[in-house]
Chain A
Amino acid sequence: MGVVVKKVELGWLDRTYVWPVMKGMSITFQHFIRNLFTSTAKRYTIQYPEMKKEIPAGYRGLHELKRFEDGAIKCVACFMCQEACPARCISIEAEEFSDLNITQGFEEKRPARFSIDMLRCIYCGMCEEACPKDAIWLRNDYEVAAYDRLSMKFGKWDLMNTYAEADGKDRISQDTTPTVPRRTIVM
């Protein structure tokens, strides 16, 4: 397929080469002056450690295991996320917990261990979609880095406390087992 290339006819002024050079120089000088009188904070570059990009809604970053108001984990260890995970980075060990001191008694399931290997995770968000209890969320935080492989293995408490203080909740490190069945609290 032939394409007709239009030849640009240069005028005598353009063919002197001096005038186009001066035009180009005026353009670059305009850029120079404009940048000289804008503070670095207002230029296009986002200077990373001091300035951070505004994360769009729905961004998939670091995981969080959500908690109830009383601090107990929402996760019921149903293994849906582990099954859904394409990278197979989630591993869960379930346990039962109960409070039989109450007359009626109740037994529920919760994860004894819940770990995500952040080095394998591809941040696809499938776990979030699979979760029936809305217990695992992907947050906006994208700065997941560490000095060794082991510390990139996030356990249950790491995931429950990811940036917890920003939520206004206290950091927790042990199960606050509810003394009454969960459903009475929710209702």
Chain B
Amino acid sequence: MDKLASLLHMTPAIFWMVVKVVIVFSAVMLLASVWTWVERRGSAMIQDRIGPNRAAIFGKIRIIGLAQLLADGIKFFFKEDLVPEEANKGLFWLAPFLAFVPALIGFAVIPFGKDFTSGGVTYHLSVLDPGNGMGLLYPLAIGGMAVYGVLLAAWSSNNKWSILGGMRASAAMVSYEIGMSLAVVTIFMTTGGYDPAEVIKAQGHLPWAWNIVHQPFGFIVFFTCMFAETNRLPFDFAEGESEIVAGFNTEYGSMKFSLLALAEYSHLMTASALVATLYFGGWQVPFVQNPAVMLSVASFLLKMLFFAWVFVWIRWTLPRFRYDQLMHLGWKVMLPLSMANLVFHAWRMSQGH
């Protein structure tokens, strides 16, 4: 690795950083695009349909519908990139990136495997090494940034349906952020630190020591809020065909729309990684004291993909909420519940548990 780094005129530390960045973000983007396929085929199976299985490479290789991804990508690239006459052009261009980037970079602090030592140097399997001072506050802050993408996309389109969708979505995201943060604060409190590596280490390798067992209500609140945060059903208020056309991305087409769609799925991936890290022991392998690095990575991936699948699964199970029901649930149920959770665990800690 050192040799390769010197060949590229980089210090080994920077080289390792670049490798991590490339691997993590390309993997998340790949998973996000594959998840559009999972969503379509999975929903088809849940609803007794077949789903996309026709697209084929060279008219032959169908690979159970995965060629659809390629076809969609090519189609999006060659679509006309239309900008509405009355739109705020600069913001209209900026919005998809503002939606996509926060969704992706939230992943940066999450450790996706056990750290290992090679040649006297410890390598951490997360883009930002632990002890960077941001810890899990970073994905929460970045998650707050995601509101801007949706709201700017809506505002700059200069379309009343877009703005209605954007306003609804941003209201939902902002109000659910509080309940979610309180649930996470409870974890910080019981862990005694807000670094994801610490959170994972504190949970240990035994499944009954994971946070899901200690804080089931915290988990319910956090997971529910994640649906509102990622703007997915049953809380997808940014869109709504029956009410506001396509919501915040009504005016978007071509690759810009594709970016907005990808942003949703990257957000989903980041959210499920967060759930796995906070409540299900991150890369810890159940009942294995000191797992091999690859095993820990596989364990983390498995947990993350499971929760990503739960996102899809719930989307095709539950009907949408009404807006007032959403607000009711957010402010009158989720917030008190996470508050009670916080107070209960504070009391428990004061009793010396």
- Taking the nearest CB of chain B, how far is it from the CB of A52, in angstroms? 16
Q: How many A-B residue pairs have CB under 8 A?
A: 37
Find out whether the CB atom of B318 lies under 8 angstroms from the CB atom of A21. Answer: yes
B317 CB contacts on chain A under 8 angstroms: 21, 24-25, 27-28
- Taking the nearest CB of chain B, how far is it from the CB of A144, in angstroms? 23
Q: Known contacts A18-B220, A40-B53; decide if A25 and B314 are in contact (CB<8 Å).
A: yes
Q: Which of A41-49, A98-106, A158-166, A173-181 contacts B (4 or more CB under 8 A)?
A: A41-49
Interface size on B, residues (CB 8 A): 15
Interface size on A, residues (CB 8 A): 16
Q: Which of A29-82 contact B (CB under 8 A)?
A: 29, 31-32, 35-36, 40, 43-45, 47
Find out whether the CB atom of A36 lies under 8 angstroms from the CB atom of B45. Answer: yes
Q: Which chain A residue shows the least CB distance to B315?
A: A28
Report which of A18, A28, A43 forms a contact with B313, defined as CB distance below 8 A: A28
Report which of B42, B44, B47, B318 forms a contact with A24, defined as CB distance below 8 A: B318
Q: Known contacts A18-B220, A32-B42, A35-B45; decide if A47 and B50 are in contact (CB<8 Å).
A: yes
Most B CB contacts (10 A, CB to CB) among A18, A27, A28, A29 go to A28
B316 on interface, CB distance cutoff 8 Å:
yes
B49 on interface, CB distance cutoff 8 Å:
yes
Find out whether the CB atom of A29 lies under 8 angstroms from the CB atom of B48. Answer: no
Find out whether the CB atom of B48 lies under 8 angstroms from the CB atom of A44. Answer: yes
The distance in angstroms between the C-alpha atoms of A43 and B47, with both chains bound, is 11
Q: List 15 A-B contacts (CB under 8 A).
A: A21-B314, A21-B318, A24-B317, A27-B317, A28-B46, A29-B46, A31-B45, A31-B48, A32-B313, A35-B45, A35-B48, A40-B53, A44-B48, A45-B49, A45-B50
Binding site for B on A (CB under 8 A): 18, 21, 24-25, 27-29, 31-32, 35-36, 40, 43-45, 47
Pairs of residues from A and B, 7 with the lowest C-beta to C-beta distance, nearest first: A35-B45, A28-B317, A28-B46, A45-B50, A24-B317, A32-B45, A32-B46
